[in-house]
Amino acid sequence: MSIDRREMMRRTATGIGAAATLPLLPNLANAATASGVKRVVFFLQNQGFDPKTCIPEGMGSSGSLVKSKLPEPIKALEPYKEKLHIINGLHGLHTSPSHSAFFGALGGYRGSDGVPPSASTIDYEVSKVLPQTLLPHLCIGMDSMENMSAKPTVANLSASGAGQPIFMHSNPNLLYQMLFGGISKGNIRKEHEARSSVLEHIEKMAAKKGQKLPFADKQRYGQFVQGFKEINGLRTRLAKVSDHLKKFAPKVDDRYSKPKYETDWHDALLDLGIASLKSGITNTLTIGSGRGEIFGSWKGLGIEKQGHNLGHMKQHGEEIWTKIRQYNCSMLVKIMQELESIPEDGGTMMDNTLIVYTSNNADKQHTNGATWPVMLLGNFDGRFKTGRFTQLDGKRPINALYASILQATTGKSVERFNMNEKMAKKFDSSVGPLKEVLV
């Protein structure tokens, strides 16, 4: 398989911003089963999350889920009710979501199309305090085939700081090469090596050229060079644990190279995300179905309508949205089952994992953010209450939930997340995490 250098550079450049600050090489052979290891998965579906699609019929107040029957859209979670916590009554009024809150969905601040993040997001903050891994934070984004092919990486949901977006990977072929290319054979290995060679060449060339720039430009250019350096460093570190990675690398099949529908790539991306968790490559995974925008396509589910038009449809009782939500829940079940298959600390990986499922757009498209439903799966080693439905009064923001997650992760008291006192006086009725969700 011949690879054109110019094409390789074009494809490589799309992923430069995807590399996070990488730690020294951890012992991956022990990372996947070490005592005290925790992990968090954030799964956001675009176009909103109608609470009627997740709240059991007849439950108007907080209570146990034991005797309840889950609604049709989330019925796949019925066997996992003891691990589930449905939360309704949080708000995101201050994020001004409308079509999407974009970075504000996980940041808990005002967000909009084309507006850079004003602070880091909860997934990045969690990745900083969890035990460090080769890739502290992995983001994957699912969309239409056209969008994923044309833009293999996009940045809409996660950020490491103000003006510092984190890219989502949307092409499973490129992501597989990055994570498992060094242990592959045939064309995948050839393309991995060719891409690595180009990256090393660009890093050296860019570093040399950058020395001639004015100081201000040199600083900005330095960040660009650092991106190449981190990707090259990741490739080297992954190569050092190749024997370990072979145990977890997904099988490459026609879904990668000959996808019939975009959902083939969605499924392949999920497999790569799960493999990254199971192998210990990362402890924090963010999944953006719709990539934080107003688009998205699920033709593989027999749904011909796509993109913005889906947001103008009601979700409760609508067959199309029932199929999309059921597909999401099947993915959540797969994550849980895969993590339950790996022993860890006297139990399984799932015992030490928290999955956060919500939307980047509160309850619906064209929303004011007054209602922002969330589902939590897993008790995070006994830190979160499960098997419950909690109805809040609409006076606490999503930031309070994020403060809860951060407190459970760090073990230290967290009063607020991305909300100063002035904002809190207007949008939060209390201080600290949600007592309703933490043990």
Res 178: pLDDT: 87
* Domain spans, the chain: 5-427
The whole-angstrom separation of Cα 32 and Cα 55 is 34
- Token readout for 360 is 């980047």
- State the SS3 of 411-436: CCCCCCCCCCHHHHHHHCCCCCCCCC
Partners of residue 84 on adjacent β-strands: 377
Residue 395: its H or E element: strand 388-397
Three-class SS of residue 172?
Answer: helix
Res 242: pLDDT: 83
Task: Name which residue leads in pLDDT, 1 or 94.
Answer: 94
How far does Cα 304 stand from its chain's mean position? 26
- Token readout for 102 is 């974009």
pLDDT digits (tens, 9 = 90+) for 205-231: 555 655 555 555 555 555 555 555 566
pLDDT digits (tens, 9 = 90+) for 187-199: 655 565 555 554 4
**Residue 238 burial by Cβ neighbours in a 10 Å radius (0-12, 13-18, 19+):** buried
How far does Cα 153 stand from its chain's mean position? 13
Q: For residues 226-251, give the mean pLDDT.
A: 76
Res 353: pLDDT: 98
Three-class SS of residue 183?
Answer: helix
- Token readout for 119 is 């602070």
What mean pLDDT is reported for the chain? 86
Res 196: pLDDT: 53
pLDDT over 80 at 384, yes or no? yes
Task: Give the lowest-confidence range in 101-110, 209-218, 242-251, 419-428.
Answer: 209-218
For residue 186, which amino acid is it?
G
